[in-house]
Amino acid sequence: MKITCGIDWSERHHDIALVDEHGDLVAKRRIPENVDGFGELLTMLAEAGDTPENPIPVAIETPRGLLVAALRATGRTIYPINPMAVARYRERYSPSGKKSDHLDAMVLANILRTDARLHRPLPDDSELVRSIAVLARACQDATWRRTRASNELRSLLREYYPAMLEAAALRSGSLTSTTARALLQLAPTPTAAAKLSKARITAALRRIGRKREVEEFANELQAALRQPHLRQDPLVEDAMGVQALRLLATLNAECDSVDQLATATEDAFRRHPDHHVITSFPGLGDQSGARLLGEIGDDRARFSDARSLKAFAGSAPVTRASGRSQVITHRRVKNDRLAGVGFTWAFAALTASPGARIHYDRRRQHANDRHAAALRHLFNRFLGCLYHCLQHGIPFDETTAFPTPATAVT
């Protein structure tokens, strides 16, 4: 008898349902989120015929968490089902709109009973690549938080301290630079900036590690801070200065997080066997390559062909046809993190690969693609090359990837 398992998970407990090949309920139980609860789950599965040679597959609405990690360690196949898909399946089993945790567990079990072939199981990635995925995503999240903190601080400075924004922009700088943050720490208000001496600016530049043209840069910063601007009332200005220092503390913490997570991500990525293949592609460095590897994993059987990988990344177009109407457009349901890496990868490759530049220009001029569409098409081309290179363990080759003679587009 074929048994499938569905788990409706929550923060404190999980509802388990086992159904047979006819859709009849075999067993159900609610287990707590602890070791004892996991033991109860294994007992349920064993009583239903679970064996190491023929483990019962499990469907659950999340691909992460302690329960998923424990189930992965047992070696069974795990199917993470999108909650939106589960909601559509629920209408099949409950037309009245009835919903309960037990019903959701049964729906998940029945999804595997009827449509397991249509859903992708959790990939059999190595422990190293799963750690890279954690670090790469954490670094990306920290980068987004740093940008948000920087924008919030910039909005405040615009209201009372435009001179600091001008000083931060000197020599192609920004508020996230160590120079701008050290300068704002010294002079959080225009009043304090007017009293700031060149010696204190010079000392601050040396503390953050600047060694070249320190005196000249200090003169530029002092001149920028002393430019006349409109001012707030003194008490209001002081209050905004206190607020700016608190926002600066948040920005400093996020900048440190980005630096430390980036270092940890790159160190882990360099230890992976696929490092030399991924970084051989133009436009991919250690940071972007780690994000790419973390999203696609190293399970070679995860994607049956390059088209599957392109669909997962959202670079392949999707066709919507009905009667005489047919529309070809870009995918909206995709791995957003992988698609984000692809955009920066394709953009960076424009200056690193002559073939990529020719390909982009042709899409822009002859296919009338806009910038984003041309980059997405280039990313799609690169993914096909990446799939082939990873399957065969060979580095990227420019002449193989872009065999057309590199002729300038006029």
For the chain, which residues score pLDDT lower than 70? 1, 404-410
Residue 327, SS3? strand
Provide the pLDDT for residue 1: 58
Q: How far does Cα 24 stand from its chain's mean position?
A: 40
Contact between 33 and 85 under an 8 Å Cβ cutoff? The reply is no
Provide the pLDDT for residue 404: 67
Angle at the Cα of 241 from the Cα atoms of 240 and 247, rounded to 5 degrees = 90
Contact between 74 and 55 under an 8 Å Cβ cutoff? The reply is yes
pLDDT in tens, 295-317: 999 999 999 999 999 999 999 98
Which helix (H) or strand (E) segment holds residue 352: the answer is: helix 336-352
Separation between Cα atoms, residue 240 and residue 157, nearest integer Å? 8
CATH C-level class of 4-118: alpha beta
Whole-angstrom CA distances from 353 to 282, 284, 357, 396 are 6, 11, 6, 11
Residue with tokens 């957003």: 336
pLDDT in tens, 314-346: 999 888 888 888 888 888 889 999 999 999 999
Whole-angstrom CA distances from 395 to 64, 178, 293, 299 are 32, 37, 15, 18
Spell out the residues 6+ positions from residue 76 whose beta carbon is closer than 8 angstroms to its own. 50, 55, 56, 57, 58
Pairing of the two strands 78-80 and 25-32:
unpaired
Spell out the residues 6+ positions from residue 96 whose beta carbon is closer than 8 angstroms to its own. none
| Domain ranges, ordered by start, for the chain | 4-118, 131-267, 277-401
The whole-model pTM stands at 0.89
Torsion region of 192: left, alpha or beta (phi above 0 gives left; psi -120 to 50 gives alpha): alpha
Residue with tokens 């007017």: 194
Contact between 58 and 71 under an 8 Å Cβ cutoff? The reply is yes
